Amino acid sequence: MSSSPKNYWIRNPNFLENQEDAILISDNKGKLLDSNVQAKELGLIPEKNDLKHSAWYKKLSNADSKEHSHLTLHLSSGKRRFICRAVPILVDEKEPAKAFYFRDITEKSFTEAKAKRYETLFRRRENRIKELEIRDKLTGLFNREYTIESFQAEIYRAERSGTTIGVVYLHIDGLKEINEIFGNNGGDLLLKEMGRILLENSRRSDISSRIGGEKFLLLLPGAHKNIVLERAEKIKRLFSESSSNGSWGEVKITLSLGVAMYPEDGSTYDILLQKVQIGN
């Protein structure tokens, strides 16, 4: 139906009832002249057939007849969502009036919203699974496989951009003895504490990982050597303070360190890893 005022409305119940949309016809003062059963079932017909006091009337009456409006209405049938349009017409070829079309999209909106929620949950689950695949379960640090891939990627990036990478290797001395005396639970406490300290003292761009047993690695892309050394000493100090508060008896727990810089100390993953592990 076009927006021309030459659209004529001749009352035809069969036409109204055969429409998918709910339709209401009103005169230019808002008095209801005609409607179909869909409008009645949805609760769009007000008392005394006066549309002026309906929540939607003013907005639709002033809307451009070529545009569609999206409305959410609280009706006797419940909360409903509609795509609406108001078209100027002439009743019986002489009286100016308007035809209001309401297409109920409540179920469609609900289905789309539900699908979106499921999609969000699915993505979260995927991300969670991916996170579990690249994290060490005990410490929450990145695992060895992810670290090797990331290390290589950071080297490529540093090579292109001409930047540095700080590499810090950390080894918990005395962990084997702790496990023998206190069981694996005792050793796990130390490993978890090491993980906490690394995570709390890493930048967003850093890669902190457990690469096996009592061995840890911290990569600091773009960091200068003095910053890398300061970070390594801070982590060592924090771990020493934390482990000294434990009830480990005569067992001496220390943290050995190795520090290397790309490209100063090596240009490949293997060389840099060998460099930081010398003496450990």
| pLDDT at position 87 over 70 | yes
Q: Residue 91 domain-assigned?
A: yes
- One domain for residues 268 and 157: yes
Query: How far apart are alpha carbons 261 and 266 in whole angstroms?
Result: 7
- One domain for residues 81 and 150: no
- One domain for residues 90 and 153: no
Percent over 70 (pLDDT), the chain: 90
Q: How confident is the model at residue 4 (pLDDT cuts 50, 70, 90)?
A: very low
Q: Using an 8 Å Cβ cutoff, are 139 and 195 in contact? A: yes
User: At 185, which CATH number?
Assistant: 3.30.70.270
Q: How confident is the model at residue 3 (pLDDT cuts 50, 70, 90)?
A: very low
- One domain for residues 272 and 141: yes
pTM over 0.75: no
Q: Residue 115 domain-assigned?
A: no
Residue span of the structural domain in which 200 resides: 135-278
Burial of 169 (0-12, 13-18, 19+ CB in 10 A): buried
Number of neighbouring beta carbons within 10 Å of residue 227: 14
- One domain for residues 218 and 158: yes
pLDDT of res. 5: 45
In this predicted model, what pLDDT tens digit does every residue of 227-276 receive, in sequence order? 999 999 999 999 998 888 766 667 788 899 999 999 999 999 999 999 99
Bigger pLDDT: 275 vs 66: 275
Q: Residue 163 domain-assigned?
A: yes
Structural domains of the chain, count: 2
